[in-house]
C-alpha cells in the first residue's frame, strides 16, 4: 500500500518551526524594515494617478486602500507616516512576522483572513474605522490567492463603512521576484519605481450580495489597470 504523500514545507517554514523560530520571528521584522527603508531610500519613486488618493485624504476623509499581494513589500513603506492605519493580516506564522513588521512602520494589524478568522477580523476593521479617524489597507488577493484576483471582503468592508476603495499598486525596474505563490516584487537598489492608482470605488450601503460580486470584478479590473499603468510608465512589457 502506498504511503500518503506528505505536504511539502518551505525552508522558511521549517526554520520558523525550529528551536530558533522565536529568534527568527523577533529578528526578521527588524531586518525587513531596515532593508526596505534602505532600498526605497535609494530608489526614484514616481506616481501615476495619485490624485485619486490625495483628493480624499487632503479633505480629511478616510480611505480603504486595496493592493495586490505581489506588491506588499512597498505598501507599509508608502503608508509609514499614517500612524494607526488598520491593515488586515493573516493569522498564520508568516502573518506573525508581517504583523510585527507593519507595527514597526506605525500601522495597526488586524488579524484574520477570508479563510480563518475573517469574520471577526472584518468586524474589527469595521469597528476601528467607525470609531477612529484612520484609513485601512487590504491585500485583496491574500492570503493564498489566486494571485491578481480580488476577493469580496474589501467590498463588504466598504459597504459597511461607506468609505471609498482606492485601488493602487506599483512596479519597479529592475526588480527580482520571491519564489512564493504571489511572486512578491523586490526592487533592486537604485531602481525606478512607479506607484499607480485607479479611480475610487464607492459601494452603497444598500448594495445586495449579488451586486457585491460585480463590484469585486470591477475592483480586480481597476487594480489590473493600475498595474498596467505602472508598467507602461516604465516601458515594461510583462512576459
The phi, psi pair for 168, rounded to 5°, reads -160, 150
Tell me the pTM.
0.86
Highest mean pLDDT, choosing among 39-53, 92-106, 133-147:
39-53
Distance CA 150, CA 2 (A): 39
| Angle, in degrees to the nearest 10, between helices 153-161 and 209-233 | 110
Cα-Cα-Cα-Cα dihedral of 126, 128, 134, 139, to 10°?
-50
Q: Summarize pLDDT for 4-60 with one digit per residue, the tens.
A: 334 444 444 554 555 556 777 778 889 989 999 999 999 999 999 999 999 999 999
* 209 CB-near residues (< 8 Å, 6+ apart): none
Residue 235 has pLDDT above 60, yes or no: yes
DSSP conformation class of 49? S
Q: What is the pLDDT of residues 195-224, one digit of tens each?
A: 999 999 999 999 999 999 999 999 999 999
Q: Does the pLDDT of residue 117 top 70, yes or no?
A: no
Question: Three cell numbers at 165?
Answer: 476603495
In this structure, what is the dihedral angle of CA atoms 168, 169, 170, 175, given to the nearest 10 degrees?
Answer: 170
Q: Which residue has the higher pLDDT, 114 or 34?
A: 34
Query: What is the mean predicted confidence (pLDDT) over 145-166?
Result: 96
Q: Identify the architecture of domain 16-233 in CATH.
A: 3-Layer(aba) Sandwich (3.40)
- Residue ranges of the domains in the chain? 16-233
Provide the mean pLDDT of the chain: 88
Amino acid at each position: 500500500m502506498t504511503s500518503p504523500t506528505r505536504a511539502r514545507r518551505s525552508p522558511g517554514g521549517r526554520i520558523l518551526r525550529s528551536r530558533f523560530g522565536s529568534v527568527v520571528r523577533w529578528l526578521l521584522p527588524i531586518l525587513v524594515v531596515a532593508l526596505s527603508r534602505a532600498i526605497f531610500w535609494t530608489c526614484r519613486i514616481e506616481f501615476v494617478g495619485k490624485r485619486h488618493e490625495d483628493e480624499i485624504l487632503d479633505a480629511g476623509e478616510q480611505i480603504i486602500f486595496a493592493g495586490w499581494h505581489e506588491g506588499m513589500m512597498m505598501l507599509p513603506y508608502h503608508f509609514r507616516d499614517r500612524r494607526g492605519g488598520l491593515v488586515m493580516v493573516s493569522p498564520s506564522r508568516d502573518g506573525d512576522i508581517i504583523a510585527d513588521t507593519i507595527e514597526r512602520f506605525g500601522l495597526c494589524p488586524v488579524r484574520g483572513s477570508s479563510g480563518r478568522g475573517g469574520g471577526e477580523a472584518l468586524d474589527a476593521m469595521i469597528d476601528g474605522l467607525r470609531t477612529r479617524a484612520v484609513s485601512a489597507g487590504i491585500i485583496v488577493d491574500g492570503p493564498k490567492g489566486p494571485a491578481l484576483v480580488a476577493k469580496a471582503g474589501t467590498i463588504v468592508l466598504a459597504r459597511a463603512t461607506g468609505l471609498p476603495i482606492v485601488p493602487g499598486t506599483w512596479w519597479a525596474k529592475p526588480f527580482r521576484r520571491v519564489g512564493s505563490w504571489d511572486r512578491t516584487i523586490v526592487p533592486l537598489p537604485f531602481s525606478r519605481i512607479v506607484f499607480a492608482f485607479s479611480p475610487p470605488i464607492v459601494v452603497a450601503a444598500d448594495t445586495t450580495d449579488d451586486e457585491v460580486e460585480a463590484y469585486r470584478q470591477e475592483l480586480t479590473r481597476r487594480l489590473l489597470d493600475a498595474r498596467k499603468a505602472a508598467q507602461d510608465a516604465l516601458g515594461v512589457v510583462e512576459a
